[in-house]
Amino acid sequence: MIKRPLATAALILAATAAFAHQGVQNPAVKARTHSMMGLDKDLKLMISMAKGDIPMDATAAQSAARRIQAGTPDIAPLFEAPETDPKSEALPSIWDEYDTFTALARDLDQAAAKAAPTIQDRPSLAQAITNIGGACRACHKRYRE
């Protein structure tokens, strides 16, 4: 039962291993990739705990999920202007479908809000990662190269 969510967690980790932000010149693009890196740091902390790389600490994992939720309202305003950069991975369709983009940001907000209080042990943490990571992926699949 634990195996599948943990496998998913490992996949999410692998999928977010490469960062494009190095070499970005446009400060607006830097600001949004910086914000993404903040979300990523907390999700990775949760994944490390779920995998047993660091000790399980339900309070710390819940805090990480709450920080992800707290960072989510920044996404829409940071991406509002159609700023670009040669190193950006943002797809131009964001600005044709900005309502859908912001709806996906709200989905992450809700997923993190719902998941945070459920985290008690490694299996419930793995489930929270699957739910939160799924909301990250839903947006990346559509709007990130």
E-strand stretches of the chain: none
Task: Determine the Cα–Cα distance for residues 101 and 96; give it in Å rounded to an integer.
Answer: 9
Side-chain-facing half-sphere of 48: CA atoms under 13 Å: 13
Examine residue 144 and tell whether it contacts ligand HEC (CB under 6 A).
yes
Examine residue 11 and tell whether it contacts ligand HEC (CB under 6 A).
no
Angstrom CA distances, 97 to 35, 47, 71, 74, stand at 21, 31, 22, 18
What's the closest the beta carbon of residue 37 comes to ligand HEC, in angstroms? 5
Examine residue 6 and tell whether it contacts ligand HEC (CB under 6 A).
no
Can you tell me which of 6, 13, 36, 50 binds ligand HEC, judged by CB under 6 A? 36
Examine residue 43 and tell whether it contacts ligand HEC (CB under 6 A).
yes
Rounded to 5°, angle at Cα 63 from 61 and 68: 100
* # binding residues, ligand HEC (CB under 6 A): 28
Residues in contact with ligand HEC by the rule CB under 6 A: 16, 19-21, 29, 32-33, 36-37, 39-40, 43, 68, 75, 88-90, 101, 104-105, 108, 132, 135-136, 139-140, 143-144
